[in-house]
């Protein structure tokens, strides 16, 4: 969910992201068609390979069926041979039967086989308990305990195929103890009446059958299996008698992962003989069958990769040529909105974007000049108004009047009134002192003390007042009436709105080449949303763009904004005013002034009278 939201956010906000997305989207159909074509090509190749393989396997299996049919016919001719049956069924002494067996062996040796695929022909002489082999001669055998003998007799002349498996018993006289051959068994003379039954057998080496199918084994990784109707392996080029694959149904080929062969996929095909019930299973490496289609698949993958890279490259070129100038203009607008009137966008374009960028530079320059003209006019207006107000005030008359009120209050024992008038007189005496724009921090604190005492008398000692000044700070010059609006806000907007017992504290110290003056109160505090708004307003104030508010002009936080403006105008943008507050706990206002700026008062753009008037407007 987060990734989805992040994707849509980038999609809405970034032109480059959208360009890249749409370029990549344009090649998706081609990519899908290419992948589909590769998959279909692979299926077609496998289907054709399966059909060709099945045709070849059916041909080989047909040859084997024909050979086995010929061998069955050959065993049938021996089983019904009159001469051989007469030699086997003579009722003679053992010596004469041995002679007859010798004659039978000579006859077998001279008998025309007519096939190069059988390795031996033998007859079980049940009267002598002897195997008479064309290749090895005669050997005694205890045949009555052999299962194959019982099955052959019960077969009544039917040809039986034996596929020996398991571990050899070690009985060399038993033809079926040979695990490297298969045998065809049939009862001798099954249409002759006799007391003892004899069996004829034909031995076929497994390698002979494997040689017949050698043309199907095209690679060393190919696995071939010839399977009997009972699903037992007759011969395999792997030497295994266990079938590691499933026989496909309905002669359908399939792909199987073969763990024992280097972890490769094998293409498995099988055919079944409708005559004999024998089947063949051939497993070929898929990579060899799909060798050509794999080359095509790799080519398609490379083509898709190149298409993606080309789409990314084109999107970058398009973004750089079209979207980048828009982004540059947007950054310039943000800078201009944040007060950087000296913004100038560099460019070397001569197209429409070049004209647009140059027009923006001209607009920014004109805006800067326009604001500067208004600022100078406002400053001049403020100076004129201050001078006019000051010309109407006779400080000596004001002092003498306040002293008269103070004497009258003493005469009438109005101590609180007399103390308030005395503090007010001292407050105005320091405020209206001419010829100086600054005062020392000690003098400023003394001045604030008069004002705070007046407020304490007004609110009947509603709060306490404490001041902590580090010794080096007291002699530093500071702009007059800079701290008074901050203290006034702390009393009227903080302590006045809380029950009695509040506290007001002022601290001054030097930290990191900065004079830090903190005014703290335990008043009502500022709500978090208004605090964020105030901090944002103060952060936008710069020494070159802020204008003092005129008389009667209202606005949010204009008192602290005017203090911050005076601070920036006198001491530069390194000076700052910080406000931190917690609702219900109190507020802290910190003034930070670089020590180097405290000795550069010649650069102050406003005189003391102008600063006083600005503070009174804010108040």
Tell me 590's DSSP state.
E
Domain definitions of the chain by residue range? 80-209, 338-381, 433-618
Residue 591: predicted pLDDT: 95
The token duo for 608 is 């003391």
Residue 468: predicted pLDDT: 93
- Tokens 């944040």, residue located: 338
C-alpha–C-alpha distance, residues 159 and 469, integer Å: 124
- As a whole number of angstroms, the longest Cα–Cα distance in the chain is 177
Angle at which helix 291-318 crosses helix 15-26, to 10 degrees, equals 150
Residue 522: predicted pLDDT: 93
The pTM of this model reads 0.47
Residue 552: predicted pLDDT: 42
Tell me 501's DSSP state.
-
The token duo for 238 is 């792997």
Per CATH, domain 433-618 is 3.40.225.10: no
Which residues have a Cβ under 8 Å from the Cβ of 326 and sit 6 or more positions away?
15, 353
Would you say 198 and 88 are in contact if contact means Cβ atoms under 8 Å apart? yes
Residue 258: predicted pLDDT: 55
Which residues have a Cβ under 8 Å from the Cβ of 448 and sit 6 or more positions away?
483, 484, 487, 506
The token duo for 502 is 């509040």
Would you say 177 and 164 are in contact if contact means Cβ atoms under 8 Å apart? yes
Nearest CA among 215, 271, 274 for reference residue 50:
271
C-alpha–C-alpha distance, residues 312 and 318, integer Å: 10
C-alpha–C-alpha distance, residues 599 and 617, integer Å: 27
Would you say 462 and 521 are in contact if contact means Cβ atoms under 8 Å apart? no
> Given CA atoms 512, 516, 522, 528 in this order, what sign does their dihedral have?
negative
Residue 587: predicted pLDDT: 95
Residue 46: predicted pLDDT: 76
Is residue 220 packed enough to be buried (19+ CB in 10 Å), middle (13-18) or exposed (0-12)? exposed
- Beta strand 223-227 pairing with 233-236: antiparallel
Map residue 153 onto helix, strand or coil: helix
Map residue 209 onto helix, strand or coil: helix
Would you say 480 and 431 are in contact if contact means Cβ atoms under 8 Å apart? yes
Would you say 127 and 97 are in contact if contact means Cβ atoms under 8 Å apart? yes
* Mean pLDDT (10-residue bins), the chain, 619 residues: 65 68 78 79 77 88 90 88 85 83 87 77 88 88 84 84 73 78 87 71 90 87 88 87 72 57 73 88 82 77 84 76 75 81 80 82 84 78 57 48 57 59 62 66 88 81 90 88 89 88 93 93 92 90 56 62 86 91 93 85 42 40
Q: For the CA atoms of 14, 20, 25, 30, what is the dihedral angle to 10 degrees?
A: 180
Contacts within 8 Å (CB) and 24+ apart, 90-99 = 94/128, 97/125, 97/127, 97/128, 98/128
CATH class of 80-209: alpha beta
Residue 170: predicted pLDDT: 65
* Sheet of 502-511, strands arranged across: 463-469, 502-511, 514-521, 586-594, 576-582
Cα-to-chain-centroid distance, residue 60: 55
Which residues have a Cβ under 8 Å from the Cβ of 610 and sit 6 or more positions away?
379, 382, 383, 386
The token duo for 194 is 């006799």
Which residues have a Cβ under 8 Å from the Cβ of 566 and sit 6 or more positions away?
479, 482, 606, 611, 614, 615
């Amino acid at each position: 969910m987060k990734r989805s939201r992040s994707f849509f956010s980038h999609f809405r906000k970034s032109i480059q992201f959208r360009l890249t997305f749409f370029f990549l989207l344009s090649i998706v159909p081609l990519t899908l068609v290419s992948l589909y074509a590769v998959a279909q090509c692979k299926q077609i190749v496998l289907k054709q390979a399966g059909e060709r393989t099945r045709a070849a396997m059916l041909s080989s299996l047909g040859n084997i069926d024909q050979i086995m049919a010929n061998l069955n016919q050959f065993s049938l001719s021996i089983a019904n041979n009159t001469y051989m049956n007469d030699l086997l069924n003579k009722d003679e002494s053992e010596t004469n039967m041995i002679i007859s067996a010798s004659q039978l062996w000579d006859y077998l040796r001279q008998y025309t086989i007519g096939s190069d695929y059988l390795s031996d022909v033998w007859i079980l002489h049940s009267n002598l308990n002897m195997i008479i082999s064309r290749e090895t001669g005669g050997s005694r055998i205890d045949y009555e305990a052999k299962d194959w003998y019982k099955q052959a007799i019960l077969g009544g002349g039917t040809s039986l195929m034996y596929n020996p498996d398991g571990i050899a018993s070690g009985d060399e006289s038993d033809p079926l103890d040979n695990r490297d051959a298969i045998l065809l068994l049939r009862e001798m003379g099954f249409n002759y009446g006799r007391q003892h039954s004899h069996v004829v057998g034909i031995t076929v080496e497994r390698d002979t059958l494997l040689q017949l199918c050698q043309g199907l084994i095209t690679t060393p990784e190919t696995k071939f299996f010839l399977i009997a109707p009972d699903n037992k392996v007759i011969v395999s080029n792997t030497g295994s008698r266990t079938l590691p694959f499933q026989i496909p149904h309905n002669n359908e080929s399939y792909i199987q992962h073969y763990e024992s062969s280097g972890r490769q996929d094998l293409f498995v095909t099988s055919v079944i003989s409708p005559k004999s019930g024998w089947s063949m299973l051939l497993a070929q490496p898929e990579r060899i069958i799909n060798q050509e289609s794999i080359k095509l698949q790799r080519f398609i993958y490379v083509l898709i990769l190149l298409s993606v890279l080309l789409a990314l490259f084109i999107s970058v070129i398009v973004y750089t040529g079209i979207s980048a100038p828009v982004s540059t203009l947007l950054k310039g607008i943000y800078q201009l909105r944040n007060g950087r009137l000296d913004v100038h966008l560099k460019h070397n374009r001569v197209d429409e974007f070049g004209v647009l960028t140059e027009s923006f530079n001209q607009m920014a320059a004109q805006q800067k000049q326009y604001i500067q003209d208004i600022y100078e006019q406002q400053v001049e207006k403020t100076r004129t108004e201050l001078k006019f107000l000051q010309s109407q005030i006779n400080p000596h008359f004001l002092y003498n009047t306040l002293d008269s009120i103070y004497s009258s209050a003493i005469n009438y024992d109005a101590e609180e009134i007399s103390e308030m008038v005395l503090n007010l007189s001292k407050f105005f005496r320091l405020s209206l002192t001419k010829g100086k724009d600054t005062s020392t921090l000690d003098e400023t604190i003394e001045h604030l003390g008069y004002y705070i005492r007046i407020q304490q008398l007004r609110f009947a000692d509603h709060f306490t007042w404490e001041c902590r000044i580090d010794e080096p700070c007291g002699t530093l010059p500071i702009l007059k009436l800079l701290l008074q609006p901050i203290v006034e806000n702390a009393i009227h907007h903080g302590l006045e709105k809380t029950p009695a017992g509040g506290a007001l504290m002022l601290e001054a110290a030097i930290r990191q080449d900065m004079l830090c003056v903190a005014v703290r109160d335990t008043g009502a505090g500022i709500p978090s949303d208004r605090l964020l708004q105030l901090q944002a307003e103060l952060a936008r104030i710069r020494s070159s763009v802020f204008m003092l508010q005129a008389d009667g002009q209202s606005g949010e936080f204009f008192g602290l904004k005017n203090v911050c403006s005076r601070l920036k105008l006198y001491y530069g943008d390194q000076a700052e005013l910080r406000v931190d507050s917690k609702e219900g706990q109190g507020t802290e206002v910190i003034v930070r002034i670089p020590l180097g700026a405290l000795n550069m008062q010649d650069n102050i753009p406003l005189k003391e009278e102008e600063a006083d008037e600005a503070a009174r407007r804010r108040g």
